[in-house]
Amino acid sequence: MALWAAMLGFMLDAMDVLLYSFALQSIRAEFSLSNEQAGLVFTYTLVASAVGGIVSGLICDRLGRQRTLIFTILLYSLASAGSATARSLPELLFWRSLVGLGLGAEWSAGAVLVAEYWPSEKRARAISLMQSGWAIGYILAAIVAATVLPAYGWRAMFLIGVLPALLTVWIRRNVPEPPVWLERTAPAGSLWDIFRAPLRRVTIIATMLATTVLFAYWGVFTWLPGFLAAPKSAGGAGFSIVKTSGWIIAMQMGAFFGYNCFGLLADRLGRRLAFAIYVVAAAIMTLAYGSAPRWAGDYASTFLLISGPLLGFFGTGFFSLFGTMLAELYPTAVRGAGQGFVYNFGRGLSALAPLTVGAVADKSGLDLALLLNSGFFLMGAVIVFFLPETKGRDLAA
């Protein structure tokens, strides 16, 4: 029940967040935004998600994982519906920032909830299944965009985002707090505790790791729908919104399997090696995918369809590392604080990615802008080996 609650919450979280990516071109046209301004909206979302994730981690150490999860789902659902009322860029920034708060907060509470229920030999697989909810949510966003956006506009899309609020009723009735949290012997720690020895080194290195790969991810995947829909003259693929949605669905099917295969590899090969394999492959696929309109010519459309699932597989599946490895590196008293800070502080710094890609796209085209992210994927493959291997480690009380 804990796994289903966290997975469904993360799935619907992804849908609400990523509806903006599909509405991006329509919103740009209505508000007369540049690529840089459109990227700024997602940057605000990511900055807010960093704040939400850090605060959520602290709250769930004190009040419980389940109660915090319920609050976060309500937050992003209501804020998504509020986005439909935006009449200007500042109003849109406000509502998408609230969605971002819920995005960061939901992951922090959900990942800790699952990690504390599942044993070490299956923990990576469980976290990977939870994380794969993101891919399903991305697919749902693509389906909503393809069916609702052409007929009813982007405001109707955002109104649909209120539906996840209904999930909280089920969670309240069916998901108790984890025994390891209920039976804890030490009181909840503070944020400063994760910066004291011996956790200081882990916190710093893990935050560097999260920052690099999150920058690469948001730099690529925030702009992929825009890249596929943008005209070829602007460095895009020139697809219609319906065709773009089809390509994104194929990509996220690859992401779904990527998440779950990562869990199997991480439980067998170790957390670090599995992660390194994924991010090196992601760097290669980002390079090939972003440059396809330039070198593939008439075959670019075919290549993007075939390679999209591979980009989704390797470019997102590795995120299961953070919910698994961070839980194994921090004790129960500061597990929420540790996971919440590392992942979401990195996400906050990575908020520069959509803005950076948008700024480069205005000058050089979206295809070249996407290529910048390959280097960040490769940096992650090096940094992960500065963290200890945690395969088989039981959660510390």
* Residue 384 tokens, joined: 């992960």
Look at residues 4, 126, 93, 112 and name the one whose alpha carbon lies nearest to residue 53: 112
Statement: residue 237 has pLDDT above 60 = no
Assess contact for 155 and 81: CB atoms under 8 A.
Answer: no
Q: What is the reported pLDDT for 314? A: 95
* Percent of all residues in the chain with a pLDDT value above 90, rounded to a whole number: 20
pLDDT tens-place string over residues 11-23 = 888 888 888 888 8
Mean pLDDT of 121-126: 89
Q: What is the reported pLDDT for 386? A: 96
* Residue 32 tokens, joined: 């007369």
Residue recorded with tokens 């971002």: 100
pLDDT tens-place string over residues 156-179 = 989 988 888 888 878 888 888 888
What confidence category does residue 371 fall into, taking pLDDT thresholds of 50, 70 and 90?
confident
Q: What is the reported pLDDT for 179? A: 84
pLDDT tens-place string over residues 182-205 = 777 666 667 888 998 889 999 999
178 Rama class: left (phi>0) / alpha (psi -120 to 50) / beta: beta
CA separation for the pair 131, 48 (Å, rounded): 20
Mean pLDDT of 66-86: 90
CA separation for the pair 113, 64 (Å, rounded): 9
Mean pLDDT of 57-85: 89
Statement: residue 397 has pLDDT above 60 = no
Statement: residue 246 has pLDDT above 90 = no
What confidence category does residue 365 fall into, taking pLDDT thresholds of 50, 70 and 90?
low
Assess contact for 353 and 218: CB atoms under 8 A.
Answer: yes
Look at residues 52, 28, 30 and name the one whose alpha carbon lies nearest to residue 40: 28
What secondary structure letter does DSSP report for 263? Answer: H
**Whole-prediction pTM:** 0.77
Mean pLDDT, rounded, of the chain: 84
CA separation for the pair 21, 25 (Å, rounded): 8
Fold that domain 2-175+187-386 belongs to in CATH: Growth Hormone; Chain: A; (1.20.1250)
CA separation for the pair 137, 353 (Å, rounded): 21
CA separation for the pair 145, 222 (Å, rounded): 15
Mean pLDDT of 343-356: 81
User: CB-based contacts of 182: which residues, under 8 Å, 6+ apart?
Assistant: none
Within 10 angstroms of residue 121's Cβ, the number of other Cβ atoms is 12
Spell out the domain ranges in the chain: 2-175+187-386
Q: What is the reported pLDDT for 385? A: 96
Look at residues 358, 383, 332, 340 and name the one whose alpha carbon lies nearest to residue 220: 358
Statement: residue 236 has pLDDT above 60 = no
What confidence category does residue 275 fall into, taking pLDDT thresholds of 50, 70 and 90?
very high
Q: What is the reported pLDDT for 156? A: 92
Assess contact for 189 and 336: CB atoms under 8 A.
Answer: no
* Residue 83 tokens, joined: 């986005």
Assess contact for 75 and 103: CB atoms under 8 A.
Answer: no
Mean pLDDT of 322-351: 86
